[in-house]
Structure 1
Amino acid sequence: MKADLYIGLMSGTSLDSIDAVAARFTPEFELIGHCSCELPEALRDSILQLTQPGDNEIDQLGELDLALGREFAAAANQLIRQLDLNTDQVAAIGSHGQTIRHRPAQQFTLQIGDPNSIAELTGITTIADFRRRDMAAGGQGAPLVPAFHEALFRSAHRNRYIVNIGGMANVTRLPADRSQPVWGYDTGPGNVLLDSWIQRQQGLGYDHNGQWASQGKPHQPLLTQLLALPYFQQPPPKSTGREQFNQAWLDQHLAGLDAAVVAVDVQATLLELTAHSISDQIRLQPDWQHSEVYLCGGGAHNAVLRQRIQQLLTPAKVTTTEALGLAPDWVEAAAFAWLAYRTQTRKPGSLASVTGAQGDRILGAIYPA
């Protein structure tokens, strides 16, 4: 039986679920199937706690690394059952893991989700720890998905921008001119602050379709303060995470205002922050008005956010990656299936033009079945 399928596992900054996809990449990309497995609430809360500095971190990390590895394995096994696959058909699993720290200035990044457990519980070779090889070569270790965006979405006729809106947001520029390099970087917060604020105020995991934000009015002084963060003006390569964009950072800015802001207006302001920090970066490019912009990630389903990005980028066309043949929910998991494929076939998975590394590198550590 030919082992030509790859499974990709992704749990992003939003920590809402584990996405799993099965795909093949030869002779061309084909999405075989997918599933999404909700993370247990207690595990999610523990991971959120670990993403911020605290006490007894090493013991917490060890416990969560193992627990999350088992959840990743369960997601892979669920997908295999759902598709009625034999494990002999799967060449490898690519697992991103859950980022606990990302500090590119210190050349340090850490993802948990024990790949030994994934390999053991699935019986399938597992590839993980994709980011640190790029960092060892002087890169940011992120974002890694632009290389996959290039492989799947680049056009010979139109310049394209692929915008992933997960917990954080990142943009990839795919020039039609093949002599021009692909570039990409994290633009700032995607859903992370929106989710955190509505969780605090209403006990909800996310703002469905941006409905709550749409009921508020952006608070311009707060938005101006938030956009003044030097990160937004910092030239690429650059990447970021919860270390910068978190509830404590927002609270500091709220406390510095002359008067309290109504909670719903804070949500509207945070939606503006995400929309502007994405759109401002695209508008820096001379070709942006004649380009195509495709959104993916959970934020692509936020109708109000999507509409606001379209308003800020008119006359450019803004839609989702569904129009390119891959639904927004599965792009990142598919990217890590592709990265596993690249590693197993001894091909680079990173783009130095994106991360700032000394060169493209073969990524990941291999944990044999």
Structure 2
Amino acid sequence: MRVIGLMSGTSYDAIDAGAVDLALDGDHLVMTPLGLISRGYDDALRSALATALPPAATSLADVCRLDTLIGQAFAAAAVEADRELCDGRAELVASHGQTVYHWVTDGRVRGTLQIGQPAWIAEATGLPVVADFRPRDVAAGGQGAPLVSLVDQMWLRGRPGTPVALNLGGIANITAPDGTAFDTGPANALIDTAVRELTPQGRAAHLPFDRDGELAARGTVHEELLARLLAEPYYALPAPKTTGKELFHPAYLRAALADFGPLGAEDVVATLTRLTAVTVADAVRAAGATEVIASGGGVRNPTLMAMLRSELGTAVPVRGSDELGLPSAAKEAYAFAVLGFLTAHGLPGTVPTSTGARHPSVLGSLTPGRTGLRLPGLTGAQDTQAPTRFVVNGHAR
């Protein structure tokens, strides 16, 4: 089945559309990557989204407009991916949408909201769309994240030792072979905020970030600020746990900086980069990792990766997912294509040990394409065996 996976993460910098061909072979799910396109939100939409995110106040009118405009942007990316990557032969779209709020109280997730109305995608492509993946796991008592953990477990199963998958997006998360999976804390979220608020180029840029880790490389870690940041209670919470920009937002950083005198932007960025490295390394060590397979935008930050390798030492090598056949930039979009495929076959897409749910769940809500709900995978789906291994076609692990 040819599936397009659509993803925009907590950094809300772009929509990734990854196309794959998926097939079940016994207990193996075999994926042939077809490519990735990445399209940024236009400046007006990105600004409107940033203005509406917590802790800012917003209105239902704003939410409605954003749901529509983001849905249209996702639809345009899906149309392009079908045309350019699938020769117009895609059969299903799996859309994560854009997370705008993750409602957590006392460590328990009460609800989660991803917008980007899937009707626009179905109308534009004519294809059935699986969307709203996370709420079903939340309804089953889970955290609703990290959902990529199922793919990570199947993918890394059979590797020697204790491989741990790491994603460095706006928020960092890990998956261990025993099913433990959780958000470790911020990856790029606070770094991006510091660049935006403390540097002239960040204030002028539509996508402020520490390109190639250059600011962090020039700065010096401020040990007292680092200690203040590491005192955040979230880090001591037991797994499963999730977080987001509801906690790690600009006001959070401003409050932390207020305890100190004026600090140079380079030093702040260096300190926040070290914060990511330390909190990730702590989580990786606690999982007993013998290697880390990293993906996400953070792998393109050489200063962050060097700090992480320094924290872990030579006993726990850190390598990119590209080495195992999964392009780092495309991994999450591909993973949601897999989750959509599983839904189309009536198969669960969650691991209860990862999210804390009471049971595995078939994820998502279905929006019909032009031919109704005749999903390609549903023929004989009741007899389909759930895969236990995930294989990237043409790549020996």
Indicate the TM-score class for this superposition, using the shorter chain for normalisation: over 0.9
Q: How far apart, in 2, do the equivalents of 1:353 and 1:192 lie?
A: 26
Task: Write the mapping of 1:278-317 to structure 2, written as runs, cut at 5 A.
Answer: 278-285=280-287, 287-288=288-289, 291-314=290-313, 315-317=315-317
Task: Indicate whether 1:270 and 2:276 are aligned.
Answer: no
Q: Partner amino acid for 1:335?
A: A
Match for residue 177 of structure 1? none
Match for residue 220 of structure 1? 223
Match for residue 346 of structure 2? 346
Q: Which runs of 5+ in 2 are unaligned?
A: 370-397
Match for residue 129 of structure 1? 132
Q: 2:303 aligns to what SS in structure 1?
A: helix
Does the Cα contact within 8 Å between 2:142 and 2:357 map onto a contact in 1? yes
Give the superposition deviation at 1:260: 2.1
Match for residue 91 of structure 2? 91
User: Using a 3 Å threshold, how does the CA distance of structure 1 residues 293 and 54 change in structure 2: closer, same or farther?
Assistant: closer
Q: How far apart, in 1, do the equivalents of 2:303 and 2:262 lie?
A: 25
Q: TM-score, normalised by structure 2?
A: 0.87
Give the superposition deviation at 1:90: 2.2
Q: TM-score, normalised by structure 1?
A: 0.93
Give the superposition deviation at 1:309: 0.7
- Equivalent position to 2:181, from 180, 184, 200: 184
- Equivalent position to 1:110, from 113, 125, 131: 113
User: Using a 3 Å threshold, how does the CA distance of structure 1 residues 264 and 360 change in structure 2: closer, same or farther?
Assistant: same
State percent identity of aligned pairs.
39
Does the Cα contact within 8 Å between 1:21 and 1:334 map onto a contact in 2? yes
Q: How far apart, in 2, do the equivalents of 1:309 and 1:84 lie?
A: 37
Match for residue 12 of structure 2? 15
Give deviations 1:316-344, integer Å, cap 9, x for gaps: 11110011101110110011100100100
Q: How far apart, in 1, do the equivalents of 2:159 and 2:257 lie?
A: 46
Q: 1:9 aligns to what SS in structure 2?
A: strand
Q: How far apart, in 1, do the equivalents of 2:216 and 2:159 lie?
A: 38
Task: Indicate whether 1:229 and 2:226 are aligned.
Answer: no
Task: Write the mapping of 1:46-195 to structure 2, written as runs, cut at 5 A.
Answer: 46-83=48-85, 85-86=87-88, 89-105=89-105, 106-174=109-177, 181-195=178-192
Give the superposition deviation at 1:235: 0.5
Match for residue 194 of structure 2? 197
Does the Cα contact within 8 Å between 1:111 and 1:129 map onto a contact in 2? yes
Does the Cα contact within 8 Å between 1:133 and 1:363 map onto a contact in 2? yes
Give the superposition deviation at 1:56: 4.4
Q: 1:138 aligns to what SS in structure 2?
A: coil
Q: 1:39 aligns to what SS in structure 2?
A: coil
Q: Partner amino acid for 1:321?
A: S
Q: 2:176 aligns to what SS in structure 1?
A: strand
Give the superposition deviation at 1:24: 1.9
Give the superposition deviation at 1:272: 0.5
Does the Cα contact within 8 Å between 2:169 and 2:297 map onto a contact in 1? yes
Q: 1:242 aligns to what SS in structure 2?
A: coil
Give deviations 1:91-124, integer Å, cap 9, x for gaps: 2111011111001335110000000111111111
Q: Partner amino acid for 1:322?
A: D
Q: 2:267 aligns to what SS in structure 1?
A: helix
Q: 2:18 aligns to what SS in structure 1?
A: strand
Task: Indicate whether 1:35 and 2:14 are aligned.
Answer: no
Does the Cα contact within 8 Å between 1:104 and 1:141 map onto a contact in 2? no
Which sits farther off after the overlay, 154-163 or 245-254?
Answer: 154-163
Give deviations 1:271-327, integer Å, cap 9, x for gaps: 011111100111123x33xx1111100001111111111111112111100111011
* Superposition misfits of 4+ residues, deviation over 6 angstroms: none
Q: Partner amino acid for 1:308?
A: M
Match for residue 383 of structure 2? none
Q: Partner amino acid for 2:332?
A: E
Q: How far apart, in 1, do the equivalents of 2:119 and 2:220 lie?
A: 49
Match for residue 386 of structure 2? none
Q: How far apart, in 1, do the equivalents of 2:36 and 2:358 lie?
A: 35
Which sits farther off after the overlay, 236-245 or 54-63?
Answer: 54-63
Give deviations 1:70-95, integer Å, cap 9, x for gaps: 10010011112212522xx3221110
Q: Partner amino acid for 1:292?
A: E
Does the Cα contact within 8 Å between 2:4 and 2:82 map onto a contact in 1? no
Does the Cα contact within 8 Å between 2:215 and 2:266 map onto a contact in 1? yes
Aligned length: 354
Q: CA RMSD in A?
A: 1.2
Q: 1:251 aligns to what SS in structure 2?
A: helix
Q: How far apart, in 1, do the equivalents of 2:8 and 2:262 lie?
A: 35
Q: How far apart, in 2, do the equivalents of 1:303 and 1:172 lie?
A: 22
Give the superposition deviation at 1:25: 2.0
Does the Cα contact within 8 Å between 2:55 and 2:249 map onto a contact in 1? no
Give deviations 1:179-227, integer Å, cap 9, x for gaps: xx31110000011111111122232421111011110001111110111
Q: How far apart, in 2, do the equivalents of 1:156 and 1:347 lie?
A: 24
Does the Cα contact within 8 Å between 2:174 and 2:181 map onto a contact in 1? yes
Give the superposition deviation at 1:158: 2.6
